Structure 1
Amino acid sequence: MSFKVTFIGAGSIGFTRGLLRDLLAVPEFRGIEVAFTDINAHNLDMVTQLCQRDIDANGLDIKIQATLDRREALKRARYVFCVVRIGGLEAFQHDVDIPLKYGVDQCVGDTLCAGGIMYGQRGIPEMLNICKDIREVAEPDALLLNYANPMAMLTWACNKYGGVRTIGLCHGVQGGHRQIAKAFGLEKKDVDIICAGINHQTWYIQLKHNGEDLTGKLLEAFERHPEFSKTEKVRIDMLRRFGYYSTESNGHLSEYVPWYRKRPDEIMDWIDLGTWINGETGGYLRVCTEGRNWFETDFPNWMKEDPVKYTPENRGEEHGSYIVEGLETGRVYRGHFNVVNRGVISNLPDDAIIEAPGYVDRNGISMPHVGDLPLGCAAVCSASISVQRLAVEAAVTGDDKLLRQAFMMDPLVGAVCNPKEIWQMVDEMLVAEAKWLPQYGPAIEEADKRLASGNLLPTREGYRGAARLKTKSVEEMMENREAAKRNAGESDKAAERPAAAH
C-alpha cells in the first residue's frame, strides 16, 4: 500500500515518534509516504533525526519529508495527524498564571476553564488555516486526525467551519478502562465497557465481566482500593453522587466542575501530590516544561540508544494508527472517537462534539446509537458544551463578548469569580496572548486601554496556587534519568502514576 501521512506539529516528540511507530507496525504500511512539518526548525530536525533512525533500523525504505512549508507537507496527503500546541509553553504559562491571580486554580488548563478557553482561541484560527491547506492541496476527502487540545473545541470548529472531515482522538478512555479493571483485580481485556459523553467528561455507563454488570459495584471497589481511594478523591466523589465513573484524571476533572477547586483551603482535601495528574496546581505545564528541557539537553543520548522496533507488541493504544489500518485494510477496529453528535447521544445537542464508541473498517467510521446518557451525567456535559459552543463562535468571529460569556458560563471560573473580575481577567489574557490572537485586534486595543487606566480590581499578584510545585532543573532531573526520559517521550504523561503522597 502507498499513501501519504502528514504530521503537523511534528516537533512534538511525545506524540510524533509513538504515532509513527504504531503506523509502521502495520505490515501493509511499510511503503507509505511520511511528511513532518512544524514551525520550529530545531524541534523538527531533532524529531526527524530520531524517527528516521528508527525507520532505517527497521529496514524500511521510507525517507521522511521534513519541511517548514506546511502546504508542501500536505500535498497529496490522505491522512493528517495534528499534534500542534499553538503558542507553545509561553502561552500555556499565561493560561495558568493569569487566572491564578483571580483565584482560578487549574491543574491542566487545556480543555475547559480559563486556560482551555484561551487555548481554543489560539488554536481555532490556526486549525481553520490548516483545514484550508488540506482542502486545497491534500487528497480529496482527506481525514484530519486531531490530537490537539482543547479537543472538542478544535474538532467542532474544523467540522463546522473548516470543511474537512475531522475526528478527535484521545487516550483518556483507555486509561480509565485500565484503572477500573485494576480496581476489580482484573485485566483490562476482560472488562467490557460502554463509555460515552464528551472528551475528558466521558462516562463509563456500562461495565461487564463475563456478562455480569459491574457498574453498581464500582464505588465500593474504588473506596476500598489502597491507592485509588487516596489519589482519585474527586472522581470517587463524582461516582458517589452521579453513579458513574468519569474518564478523566482527578486533577483534570477537578477543574471542569464548580465544586472541588473553588476554595483554596479545601483543594488539598481533594487532590494528591504523588503525581501531577492527581491535581497539582499547574502540574501539566510543569511536566511539559521539564520534558521539553530534558529532550533539548539529552537529545544526543537519545540518538545513541536502541532504536524503536516496529513490532505488534511495541504498538501503543492511541487510536490513530488503528483507524488508518481499518480504513485501508478492512480490519475492524473498535475505539472511542470524538465526532459531531448527530443523534448518537440523544440527550446532548446534535451539533456538539461527543466521545462515544465507534467502529472502523473499509466502509468508514461508524458510530452506533448510544441513546440517552444518565440525566445527571448529561447535565454535567451540557454545562461544558455551552462553554465550548460560546468559545468556538468567539474564536471564529473574534467577538470578545462571546469570549467573556464563555468565561462566565465556565463552571469553575463562575464559582470563583464575579463578573467584573472575569471581564478584567479576560482583558489581561487577551493582551498577554495578543500575538496568537489575530481575530481580536480591536478588542485587544480596548482591553489594553482599560488595563493602562490604572482603575483596576485588586488581584493576588505572584500567587502560586494551593498546590504548586517547583519546575525541576535539568540537573535535578538527572537524578532520575529514566523518569525524565519517560516524561519527555510519552504522549500520555500520566500513564505511570507513582504512589500517593501521604
Structure 2
Amino acid sequence: MKLVILGGGGFRVPLVYRALLTDRSPGRVTEVVLHDLDATRLAAVGGVLAELAADMSDAPSVTTSTDLDEALLGADFVFSAIRVGGLEGRAADESVAAGCGVLGQETIGAGGVAYGLRTVPVALDIARRISVHAPDAWVINFTNPAGMVTEAMSAHLGNRVIGICDSPVGLGRRVARAVGVSLEDAWLDYAGLNHLGWLRGVHVHGRDVLPDLLADTARLESFEEGKLFGAEWLRTLGAIPNEYLHYYYFTREAVESGASRGTFLLEQQKRFYAAPSLESWERTRLEREQTYMAETRDEERDTNDLDGGGYEQVALDLMHAIADDKRTTLILNVPNRTTLSCLDADAVIEVPSLVDANGARPVAVSQVPDEGVGLVTALKVVERATIRAAISGERGHAVKALALHPLVDSVNVARKIVDTHPFLALGLQRNIG
C-alpha cells in the first residue's frame, strides 16, 4: 500500500512512520511519500525516518516530493497534516487575539477561526487535486481545525475523507486506566464536535462504570481531565469533557494566563530543524508532551498522561479497517447522518464510528448533554461561517465568522482581529483588508 503524507516535513511525522514500522500485517504500508513545500524540513524529517528504520530490512520505503500532483499518483491513502502559515501563523493567531483580550488558542475561539480561514482554501485545493490524481484514495485528515477542515473537504471527496484526532482516545485511555480496565474492553459513549465533546459513559461488559468513577474523588483526580476540571465540577456535569472544554468552562483564567503555545513551539522546533536527528527529535517530542496545555495546570504534567491519544495508531487502525475490510470501531470525525438530533445530516461530528471497506459510519450514542447543545450548534454555525468566508474571501464574512464565536465578545473585536492579523489573508482567495 502507498501512503502519502501531506505536511511530510512536520514534526510529528516520525510518530506515524514508527507505527508503520511495527505493523507486520500482510496488507501493511510498503511505500511512504512525504510531501511538503519546504524541502529543508522534508530532508530533516527524512533523516529521522532513516534512523528509525536503520536496522530494518523490510521497512516501508520513503521518498520526498515538493510536487503535490506527482506525490499523489497511485496513492491508496492520503494522510493530511498540513499547517498553513506554519507555527508563525499559530503564534500570530494567539498573540493578535490576546492583544484584543480574547482567547487565541490554536483551534478554540478567535485563534481557531483565524486558522480555519487560511487553511480551508488550501484544504479545498488539495481535495480537488486528490479527486483528480488519486480518485480511489481514502483521505485521513488530521489538519486542524479537524472537524471544520474535514467537512470542507467532503464537498469534493464525499465519504472518502475521514477526520481523526487524538484527544478522545487519550481521554479514553486515561479513564480506562483510572477504572482499572483495558481500553480494548471499554465502550466509550462519546459525542460532540472536534475538541468539543463529552464522555457520557464507559461501558465494560455491559455495565457503565463512569458513575463509580465520578463518585471517587481520588481516582477521578488521578488523571489529566480530573485535574483540569476538578471532581466537583465533573460530578455536576455527570460527564467528563474533552480537555479543550477547559477553555470554555474556565475562559477568564485561560485568557488571563496569556500563554502562547505557538511561540514556544516555534522556538523549540527551530532548534530541532537546525540540527535534526533521532535523538534530538525524541528529546524535543518529550518536552512538547510535558508542556502540552501547560497554561491550564498549576503543576507538572503526570507521566501517565504523557502518552496522549496515539493518533498515529488511530490512523493505522483506520487504514487497516478500510483496506482489509476489518470491522473496527473508532472515534472519528464523520458526517452526522441521524446520530445527534441537534445537528443536520451533513454536519461533521466526532463520535464512535464503525469502519470497514465502505468507510466510516457513526453509531448510536447518547446525545450531547443539554447544557452543551447550544455550544455545539453555535460552534457548527461558526465552522460553516468560517468555511464560507474562506471560500468567498470577503472581509464581512470573515468578521461574521469571528463575531459569532461564543468566545469572541464583540463585533468590534472581530473587526480588529481581521484588520490587524498579519497572516489572515493567506487563507483567503481575495484580500479581505
Query: What range describes the TM-score normalised by the shorter chain of this pair?
Result: 0.7 to 0.9
1:297 and 1:73 map into 2 onto residues whose CA distance is: 26
On the 8 A contact 2:194/2:349 being kept in 1, the answer is: yes
Which whole-Å CA distance do the structure 2 matches of 1:368 and 1:300 have between them? 43
Of 115, 118, 135 in structure 2, the residue corresponding to residue 119 of structure 1 is 115
Check conservation: 2:120, 2:149, Cα contact below 8 A: yes
Whether 1:440 aligns to 2:430 is yes
| Cα distance in 2 for residues equivalent to 1:136 and 1:192 | 39
Aligned to 2:77: 79
Instruction: Write the distance in 1 (CA, Å) between the matches of 2:229 and 2:430.
Output: 36
SS of 1:232's equivalent in the other structure is helix
In structure 2, what residue type is equivalent to 1:115? G
**TM-score, normalising length from structure 1?**
0.73
More deviation, 51-60/88-97: 51-60
1:478 corresponding residue in structure 2: none
Structure 1 residue 260 corresponds to structure 2 residue 250: yes
Where 1:27 maps in the other structure, the secondary structure is: coil
Letter in 2 for 1:404: V
One-letter code aligned to 1:253? L
Deviation, 1:110, is 2.1
Compute the displacement of 1:38 (Å).
0.3
- When residues 161 and 402 of structure 1 are mapped into structure 2, their CA distance, relative to the original with a 3 A threshold, is farther
One-letter amino acid of the counterpart of residue 150, structure 1: P
Pick aligned residue for 2:415 from 420, 423, 444: 423
TM-score (norm 2): 0.84
Q: Which protein shows a greater Rg?
A: 1
**Paired position in structure 2 for 1:486:** none
RMSD between aligned alpha carbons? 2.9
Amino acid at match of 1:302: E
Separation in structure 1 between the aligned mates of residue 73 and residue 187 of structure 2, nearest angstrom: 41
| Separation of aligned partners in 2, 1:254 and 1:380 | 13
Letter in 1 for 2:208: D
Alpha-carbon distance in 2 for matches of 1:348, 1:304: 41
Whether 1:285 aligns to 2:262 is: yes
Q: 1:64 to 1:368 in 2, by over 3 A?
A: same
Q: Distance in 1 between matches of 2:374 and 2:178?
A: 27
The residue number in structure 2 matching 1:302 is 279
2:41 corresponds to which of 36, 40, 43 = 43
Equivalent residues in 2 for 1:309-320 (5 A)?
316=310, 318-320=313-315
Q: Can you list the C-alpha shifts for 1:355-380, whole angstroms capped at 9, x where unaligned?
A: 11112233432332336333223332
Distance 2:412 2:29 in 1: 58
**Counterparts of 1:44-193 in structure 2 under 5 Å?**
44-60=42-58, 62-106=60-104, 109-138=105-134, 140-161=135-156, 165-193=160-188
| 1:332-369 deviations in Å (ceiling 9; x for gaps) | 32211101112122232322210111122334323323
Check conservation: 2:101, 2:255, Cα contact below 8 A: no
1:285-434 equivalences under 5 Å are 285-300=262-277, 302=279, 316=310, 318-370=313-365, 372-414=367-409, 418-429=410-421, 432-434=422-424
State the percentage of identical aligned residues: 27
Judging changes above 3 Å, is the alpha-carbon distance between structure 1 residues 6 and 103 closer, same or farther for their aligned structure 2 residues? same
SS state of the match for residue 66, structure 1? strand
- What's the CA shift string for 1:159-192, capped at 9, x where partnerless? 1256672110011111111222344355444543
Structure 2, unaligned runs of 5 or more: 283-308
Change in CA separation of 1:102 and 1:240 when aligned onto 2, cut-off 3 Å: farther
Name the CA shift for 1:333/1:225 in 2 (closer, same or farther; >3 Å): closer
Greater mean alpha carbon deviation, residues 59-68 or residues 193-202? 59-68
> Which position in structure 1 is the counterpart of 2:292?
none
- Amino acid of the structure 2 residue aligned with 1:440: R
1:19 and 2:11 correspond: no
